[in-house]
């Protein structure tokens, strides 16, 4: 699904340096990406609640929430109240932040995303080590290997790819 506020930039790829931007927690407090990744790798999952591929992908990410290796956080392009409703509807335990219209989609534009969901794994040194968009079975299996948490259950039938 195309995202709001796209800037025309190319999406950041593995090897890029993460931009210095802040997100807002659901209470409206600013949190910098540097703060989020200081203690270890963090996977940012940009999404919009109305996106069917996001609705499909985020519950799989939620399975790896408490993995101890990579912190997974969601970055919503919706308001805090819409984001809360989405998290409740899909029973997500993942930390939620917003990057909404009122802030000019600053983080989304800084990462150059054009579609959601878009995922970026940030390392403590500020580098992007993994980046992908849409649902990707191979990327989810790779994430499971990095987190040590099963993202796709044995015998579970999932598509190889769904574009965002």
Q: Taking Cα atoms as reference points, which of 69, 163, 86, 80 lies closest to residue 121? A: 69
Q: Which residue range forms the structural domain that includes residue 41?
A: 22-146
pLDDT at 5: 46
Number of structural domains found in the chain: 1
CB 124 within 8 A of CB 38: yes
CA dihedral (81, 85, 86, 88) in degrees, to 10, reads: 140
Inside any domain, residue 161: no
CATH number of the domain residue 89 falls in: 3.40.30.10
pTM for this entry: 0.94
pLDDT in tens, 45-69: 999 999 999 999 999 999 999 999 9
Instruction: Report d(CA 162, CA 56) in Å as an integer.
Output: 10
Band of residue 101 on the pLDDT scale cut at 50, 70, 90: confident
As a whole number, the mean pLDDT across the chain is 93
């Amino acid at each position: 699904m195309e995202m709001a506020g796209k800037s025309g930039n190319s999406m950041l790829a593995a090897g890029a340096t993460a931009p210095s931007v802040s997100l807002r927690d659901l209470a409206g407090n600013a949190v910098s990406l540097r703060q989020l990744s200081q203690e270890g790798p963090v996977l940012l999952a940009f999404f919009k609640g109305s996106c069917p591929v996001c609705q499909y992908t985020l519950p799989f990410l939620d399975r790896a929430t408490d993995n101890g290796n990579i912190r997974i956080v969601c970055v919503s392009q919706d308001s805090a109240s819409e984001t809360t409703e989405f998290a409740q509807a899909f029973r997500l335990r993942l930390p939620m932040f917003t990057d909404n219209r009122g802030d000019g989609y600053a983080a989304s534009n800084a990462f150059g995303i054009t579609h959601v969901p878009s995922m970026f794994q940030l390392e403590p040194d500020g580098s992007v080590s993994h980046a992908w968009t849409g649902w990707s079975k191979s990327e989810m299996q790779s994430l499971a290997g990095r987190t040590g948490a099963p993202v796709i259950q044995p015998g579970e039938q999932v598509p190889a790819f769904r574009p965002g």
